[in-house]
Amino acid sequence: MKIRTFIATASLVASGTLVAFSGSAQAALYTTCVGDGGAVTVTNDLVVPAGKSCTLTGTKVKGTVTVEAGADLVAAGATFNGAVTVEENAYLDLTDTTVKGALTTESAFGAHLEKSNLKAVDATGGFVYVVDSTLGGNVRTGAGELYVSGSTLNGSLTGDGNQYSDVYDSTVKGALTVDGNTLGGVFCASEVYGAAKYASNADNLQLGGEGLLGSCAGASYFGGNLAVTDNTAKAVLDNAIVRGGLTATGNDPVLVVGDLARVRGAVTGDIAPAAASSSRSAKEAAPEDRGAGLAEKAAARAAEARAEAHGAGRSSL
């Protein structure tokens, strides 16, 4: 019986479709994807093996999805019923896709989520680029790049120790925390209904308005208290309504508050009025919207992944 079991397992591994492994008394099964996958239903877990590429179009996965180290998964019109894990230097690209479990990335190259629906996101390292999507749970990113545009987040949003955390034309229904970002952050034409906190950030912070990182055409809304504290960043608050109070303590330089900012609650700490000439010069010297560079990075990796998957042929899902 042991010999027969070994032969059956070896056959499954060789097929590249189902793999059996035993870490306990009961074996578990998963499906591997290398190449192009179509509109089929995978009834168990799905794995993209390390260093390989997989594309999915209209695919439904009932189990979990794992993108192993250095691998790529590009999916369109897919549905994942379980959690998704993206490992070191791996890449995830989702368009028009639903993820019913949590998304976790671990030192990944990045995750590009466009026109998709997800729950919680927990990312450490790499970028998280969210466009025109809905995220139902809390979103936390650390030690990477965070860019959110045209999206709705039903939970909290945290950018902890990132390079930057930028939010454009989006709604955050929970709390917003941007802490220890080396290149600061942008909050533009967006709304946050929980408390908002920007702390210990460097470089530049633009909270609405014509600020240090360029133009922001729409007004912003902070539905609760706003705390801007202990930053070494050049920070500007303008063209925004703060429904609660504003705390601005420990900032060097002090927070600059423009003429179009309205704070309904009490102001605690030190603030300074905007100077028109310095605001203009800062804008002229500012870099372009960071989303453009991030989009190019994502597009290049996705194109490589599609080419490699196509070269591998049809995946046996």
Average per-residue pLDDT for the chain: 89
Lookup: tokens for 50: 């390390």
**For 220-277, what is each residue's pLDDT tens digit?**
999 999 999 999 999 999 999 999 999 999 999 999 999 999 999 999 999 999 875 4
pLDDT digits (tens, 9 = 90+) for 118-163: 999 999 999 999 999 999 999 999 999 999 999 999 999 999 999 9
Q: How confident is the model at residue 29 (pLDDT cuts 50, 70, 90)?
A: confident
Residue with tokens 């905007």, as numbered in its chain:
274
Share of the chain above pLDDT 90, in %: 82
What is the spatial distance between Cα 300 and Cα 304, in angstroms, rounded to a whole number? 6
Rounded Cα distance, 143 and 133, in Å: 22
Q: What is the pLDDT of residue 211?
A: 61
Please check the confidence at residue 35 and state whether its pLDDT lies above 70.
yes
Q: Is 4 in contact with 20 (CB distance < 8 Å)?
A: no
Distance CA 42, CA 263 (A): 53
Q: How many residues does the chain have?
A: 317
- What mean pLDDT is predicted for residues 29-50? 97
Give the confidence band of 6 by pLDDT, cuts at 50, 70, 90.
Answer: very low
Region 90-105 average pLDDT: 98
Q: Model-level pTM?
A: 0.89
pLDDT, tens digit (0-9, with 9 covering 90-100), for 178-234:
999 999 999 999 999 999 999 999 999 999 986 666 678 899 999 999 999 999 999
User: CA-CA distance, 47 to 45, in Å (whole number)?
Assistant: 7
Share of the chain above pLDDT 70, in %: 85
